Amino acid sequence: MKTLKQLFGLLTLLLIVSSCEKKEEPISPLDNAGTIIETYGSSGKILGTPAGGVPIEEAAISFASVELDFKVALKSGSPDNVTKYEIVKSFNDGPEVSVAETTTLPFSVSYSTINEFIAGLGIAVGNIRIGDVFRFKVRAYKTDGAIYVYGSTVSSFAIIVNCSSDLAGDYDVTATRDDGSSWNHGIETIVEVSPGYYKTVTTGGWAAGTIAPDQGFNFQDTCNTLTVPDQGLSQGYYSNAVTGLEGGEVLANGDLVINYEIEFSAGNRQYTNTYVKQ
């Protein structure tokens, strides 16, 4: 049974994997005639509202937005030694089941209902919980009978079941440091990077554009609990680590509270950012 802390760890790991702009892996590192595929451009989401009155890891979900557009294309190499490609899927890294087959690329698979996601997996809609993961991979069948799997690392595509989230927009932002120092950054626009995953404009007390081209940090909304995955300061422009702290949340009035820590050689400092919805 998942706890919220476990869910946040899973979300962070999968966001790191799925945020790679291009996902590719050779059929065989030792086969110069091997092919390389890419799933660049794939997208998907499974969003809903968990039932109230029970722990989130036990709550059934009313699904609000469900979609998949899994795209597979040949990036390089010759497909002459490949007889077919097979797309497979799994639930929470369980047994893989076949989704579709093709002898040519590009190829895509699209879903628009939760029933399409669970088809063939032996699970019921009522058993899906926040934090569950549907993962898609590609198998290549070669003329010599060998089967290779694209997706053992970064080339798989995962969709995390999450709460519906709509936090993109304009906010009046104030950053407060643990020594009481405070900075009002004025109106900033939070943008949605992927479902439930957002980016701010500033980090800490620095005004926008003063220390780097992009000074925002990323944060995750999981059922109104806001967490900051480990990342580099100013989108990695600096090596200073930015790590999340507990207590971040979406308030009842739509305002946001996000807690995090920035690493400094003289000692780490903790910050609380408040975002007042405009």
Q: For residue 79, what is the DSSP state?
A: G
Distance CA 169, CA 262 (A): 25
Contact status, residue 255 vs residue 245, Cβ threshold 8 Å: no
User: Alpha-carbon distance 183 to 208, whole Å?
Assistant: 12
Which pLDDT belongs to residue 106? 94
The contacts of residue 72 (CB under 8 Å, 6+ apart) are: 37, 38, 39, 85, 87, 105, 106, 107, 108, 138
Residue keyed to tokens 């694209």: 150
Closest by CA to 31, choosing from 88, 96, 76, is: 76
Give domain limits for the chain.
Answer: 4-8+21-163, 169-277
Domain 4-8+21-163 has CATH 1.10.287.3510: no
Joined together, the tokens standing for residue 268 give 């780490």
Strands (E), the chain: 24-26, 36-38, 43-50, 61-76, 82-91, 97-102, 107-111, 133-142, 147-150, 157-163, 169-177, 182-194, 197-199, 218-222, 225-227, 231-232, 241-244, 249-250, 256-262, 269-277
Query: What is the model's pLDDT at position 89?
Result: 96
Q: Give the domain 169-277 fold.
A: Lipocalin (2.40.128)
Task: Enter the pTM of the model.
Answer: 0.69
Beta bridge partners of 157: 136
β-strand partners of 98: 88
* pLDDT tens by residue, the chain, 278 residues: 444 444 555 554 444 333 333 333 444 433 333 678 888 889 999 999 999 899 998 999 999 999 999 999 888 888 888 999 999 999 999 999 999 999 999 999 999 999 999 999 999 999 999 999 999 999 889 888 888 887 544 457 889 899 989 999 999 999 999 999 999 999 999 999 988 899 999 999 999 999 999 999 999 998 999 999 999 999 999 999 999 999 999 999 999 999 999 999 999 999 999 999 99
